Structure 1
């Protein structure tokens, strides 16, 4: 079991190279076909930047850089620059890939997203796991030391299952459960963590597990990032959006917290 087709989102942002480097690394590990999906921002900052010659020049530069990087990495690559370049188009292409490589939204860089909800819309509707790359930092290694966020829910189970090819190749896998300090919920969390470790063991993945007490003053996502730092994890595996979109936007969520404050790549599934 592995990933046969990967898709990386390319645009005109400064972080395009970081996403591409990570995608090429994964494609090399799994001998996978890598699709470069070029969808730049639809509304440039200045009219001159949005002229037809300027758009064509940026597209040609992005294509040349992608093909050159693929050749240097000896990877099978395919360039796509579909029209229209919107979220619906991205979803259609994403559904024909096994794993997506996307970028965290950077508020100061308008080129990184097609719309304010491009990343979350793709996570919610593509029905494919995605590795989201932070908008800052370098990641020379990824998926060697993996932390799984586990709450026993549907999304967590889906994410862990989608991450199995990476989990099997990792040097270290840890399961983290953030639960109540006492009572039946804490006991249930401990049982769920042990059950998850046993399930992974049947898939040839040896994983340790740990339970953290929920602190009312600390967001769960923040606690997970802190735990990842303590363990020197280079990838977090987490389910995406356990509740309705409206609920998430009003109350916040582990998913949104991770997407906004991530310090290492995060693999998410919905």
Structure 2
């Protein structure tokens, strides 16, 4: 059985774009797709969609999902859940043990960015699995090759699927740049220390210090986005510390702003701490 990529879908262009991106990843990663449709969720069933399709019954939903699945370039299965979103995703993660979850980032006309961020936090808490957030517009459905990994310079240990980034780099013939951002003019950590924490965390095996970029004098999000732009990155990878993610307003706001402002997809890797 191949590895799974679970995609949260709602039939709208938002999720279909995320689905196309997930399919582009699934081919080189030799994975199959699972389309998870949560019928009564405010994020995946926006109010305007619910009004327009209030009469859609389970059978027509299944038919639409099957049509969507049959158009994918890899084997694709569907699941329909009546549970709340975090519970439905947690069950899907337990059942499929996916490489990652994929969620489209709606535009403000459909759902404010803070709604998506709140959903991402809930998903990371309920189901600690790599979570990929794909922007609504302005992004082609092609697999990424230039990855920027943003770290805070402190040691970390990842949850399951800690080899995901290495697998992506190998299968996609990708390039990796590590970035550490500090608003201090004199950085607390040097490139050698940053490199050690990344290697110890299992995210890279053959990095050199010249693949580590330390950005100082900027706030975290601005520094990450600047480094991503300089590297021409097509994916930002962020180690999301679960303790800080759930309790620290600062770290939560950084994650929220990055998810809201990034012009490229963002992959959140939950850590054990």
Runs of 4+ residues over 6 Å off in structure 1: 111-116
- Tell me, which stretches of 5 or more residues in structure 2 are unaligned? none
- Structure 1 residue runs of 5 or longer lacking an equivalent are none
After TM superposition, the score normalised by the length of structure 1 is 0.80
- The answer to which of 34-43 and 118-127 deviates more is 34-43
Could you tell which deviates more after superposition, 188-197 or 126-135?
A: 188-197
CA distance in 1 between counterparts of 2:113 and 2:221 reads 23
Secondary structure (helix, strand or coil) at the match of 2:189 reads helix
Instruction: Report the counterpart of residue 4 of structure 1 in structure 2.
Output: 3
Aligned-pair CA distance for 1:163: 1.8
Q: In structure 2, do the counterparts of structure 1 residues 111 and 237 end up closer, same or farther at CA, with 3 Å as the change threshold?
A: closer
Q: 1:114 to 1:63 in 2, by over 3 A?
A: farther
Any residues of structure 2 matched to 1:80-119 within 5 Å, and which?
80-95=79-94, 96-110=97-111, 117-119=118-120
Question: Does the 8 Å contact 1:86/1:114 carry over to 2?
Answer: no
Task: Tell me, in whole angstroms, the C-alpha distance in 1 between the residues paired with 2:165 and 2:262.
Answer: 18
Shift in alpha-carbon separation, 1:201–1:80, aligned structure 2, 3 A: closer
Normalized against structure 2, the TM-score is what?
A: 0.79
Whether the 8 Å contact between 2:17 and 2:141 is mirrored in structure 1 is no
Q: In structure 1, how many angstroms separate the alpha carbons of the residues matched to 2:112 and 2:63?
A: 15
The structure-2 alpha-carbon separation of the partners of 1:49 and 1:58, relative to structure 1 and needing over 3 Å to count, comes to farther
Between the aligned partners of 1:227 and 1:50, the Cα distance in structure 2 is 43
Q: What is residue 138 of structure 2 aligned with on the other side?
A: 137
What corresponds to 2:128 in structure 1?
127
Taking a change above 3 Å as real, the CA distance of residues 227 and 81 of structure 1, as seen in their structure-2 partners, is same
Q: Contact between 1:156 and 1:238, CA under 8 Å: does it hold in 2?
A: no
